[in-house]
Chains A and B, each alone.
Chain A
């Protein structure tokens, strides 16, 4: 998928036409979503975090992921790292507060996993949550789908 998108993007650039995004993004049911387009999968007190399919589609090919240190504190809504797509770094914000217990080291060698598998192999960090009540501030899959549609329709 990433290579075909790259080919399409380069062809569009050569022909000087716009590249249109897909009209839909994958949204998984059991996850929670932030309005800055990160997802979180909660298992007990542990939260796995990544960016959504909508985000990776709009960012383009990810070439680098800046990961936090294990043990670093993260706060809901604040940046903990960044992804670099062509020419741009984009902050990745944590949907929950807590402490980083694991980072996805494989992204250092294979950052494209964020594009090809945003909800599985492309996970970014795992966090030991400080306050499970913060999940109330996040959207479920239906709310997030609607949020993305509204956001895309405004532009």
Chain B
């Protein structure tokens, strides 16, 4: 074991990208023995107390930062579901919304309860039922999506259940919005004060989970008219209309600052590695049947008829 008692501590030498970095091992310092389960040593190869921590010792995570508003929302959902169910890697995906407004409902969403169906049909607004839970959003070019897809052990001490994951994501975004607009998590929504600007949804499998957030960077007031006031609304909404309930993130932070700070905050949790869209596609298996889908006009019309009767 290499030791360095210059500062009165026993230390270990860590290989990091071929360089040597000396880091204090608290177990060696206090107990003169190391049972090797401390955060900096999560990924370890124990060779004479030398630990290969990788970059910063965090779980590796592929990071895709979308720059073009070219992929329809359904494609993004298909990719996310496929990565959740077939990949064994961790992913952070940041992307813009679609050019055309699209309604995206949660897995159990009922169109008749959530949508002004006649307006949706008249204006031919696409309606997607996604694979995650949560409520209904209308997404367009003013929406920013941030998605984390992780193995259940990727984040130390995080139980793979909805509330711990929500709490973890909230602590990550607290770093992004520190000191801005009284940011906090309020009943599963991201708010400035009591105005919502980010909605969350999750899906949890046996060994992995996904947490995605749609941020209202900007929105078209007219598009809000396609949505009804939901039956299952958070208490803090206090029966406010959509326009009184939500706010625009662009009024609080420049877009480039949000992207930079999100990456920075994510780097405190993961060892990020950039990846391009084409490389993501090569990771995906050819045969996968996603569950997110467009609702047909017939389904929407049937829902409207059922509501009237």
Pair B206/A89 contact, Cβ less than 8 Å: no
Residue of A nearest to B207 (CB): A36
CB distance from B192 to the nearest CB of A (A): 15
Is A45 located at the chain interface by the 8 A CB criterion?
no
Is there contact, CB below 8 Å, between A88 and B203?
A: yes
- Report the Cα distance A79→B157, complex, angstroms: 25
List the B side residues contacting A152 at CB < 8 Å: 159
* Interchain CB contact under 8 A, A87 and B206: no
B110 and chain A: residue at smallest CB distance: A64
Whole-angstrom distance between the Cβ of B210 and the nearest chain A Cβ: 9
Query: Is A91's CB under 8 angstroms from B204's CB?
Result: yes
- In the bound assembly, the distance between CA atoms of A84 and B134 in angstroms comes to 8
B contacts with A, residue count (CB < 8 A): 32
Set of chain B residues within 8 Å of A10, measured between Cβ atoms: 187, 235
A60 and B163 contact, CB distance less than 8 A: yes
| Cross-chain contact A85 with B133 (CB below 8 angstroms) | yes
The reply to whether the CB of B162 lies closer than 8 angstroms to some CB of chain A is yes
The size bracket of the interface on A is 20 to 34
The answer for the CA separation of A18 and B166 in the assembled complex, in Å, is 12
B252 CB–A CB distance under 8 Å: no
Q: List residues 188-206 of chain B with CB under 8 A from any CB of chain A.
A: 188, 200-206
Specify which of B158, B162, B206, B236 is in contact with A85 (CB 8 Å cutoff): B162
A45–B146 CA distance with the chains assembled, in angstroms: 47
- Known A10-B187, A88-B202: A64·B107 in contact at CB below 8 Å: yes
Known: A10-B235, A63-B232, A79-B206. A84 touches B163 (CB 8 A): no
Query: A93 to B207, alpha carbons, bound, how many Å?
Result: 11
Q: Are B186 and A59 in contact (CB under 8 A)?
A: no
Does A22 make an interface contact (CB < 8 A)? no
Instruction: Report the separation of the CA atoms of residues A4 and B79 in the bound assembly, to the nearest whole angstrom.
Output: 39
Q: How far is the CA of A154 from the CA of B159 in the complex (A)?
A: 9
Kindly state whether residue B266 has any CB partner on chain A within 8 Å: no
Q: Is the CB of A88 within 8 A of B184?
A: no
- Interface status of B72 (Cβ within 8 A of chain A): no
Interface residues of A in 61-89 (CB under 8 A from B): 63-64, 66, 77, 79, 82, 84-89
- Cβ–Cβ contact A13 & B186, under 8 A: yes
B58 adjacent to chain A (CB < 8 Å): no
User: Is A146 in contact with chain B by the CB < 8 A criterion?
Assistant: no
A29 at the interface (CB under 8 A from B): no
Name B132's closest neighbour in chain A (CB-CB): A89
Q: What separation, in Å, do the CA atoms of A36 and B208 have in the docked complex?
A: 12
B235 CB contacts on chain A under 8 angstroms: 10, 14
Is B161's beta carbon under 8 Å from chain A?
Answer: yes
B131 within 8 A of A: yes
Determine if B232 and A90 form an interchain contact, defined as CB atoms under 8 angstroms apart: no
A87 adjacent to B200 (CB under 8 Å): yes
Contact B161 A59 (CB under 8 A): yes
> Does B106 have its Cβ within 8 Å of any Cβ on chain A?
yes
Known: A82-B107, A87-B162. 5 other contacts (CB 8 A): A84-B108, A85-B133, A88-B165, A154-B157, A155-B159
Name A's B-contacting residues (CB within 8 A).
Answer: 10, 13-14, 16, 18-19, 36, 58-60, 63-64, 66, 77, 79, 82, 84-91, 93, 151-152, 154-155
Q: Which 8 residue pairs of A and B lie closest in terms of their CB atoms, listed nearest first?
A: A64-B108, A88-B202, A88-B162, A58-B161, A87-B134, A84-B133, A90-B204, A89-B133
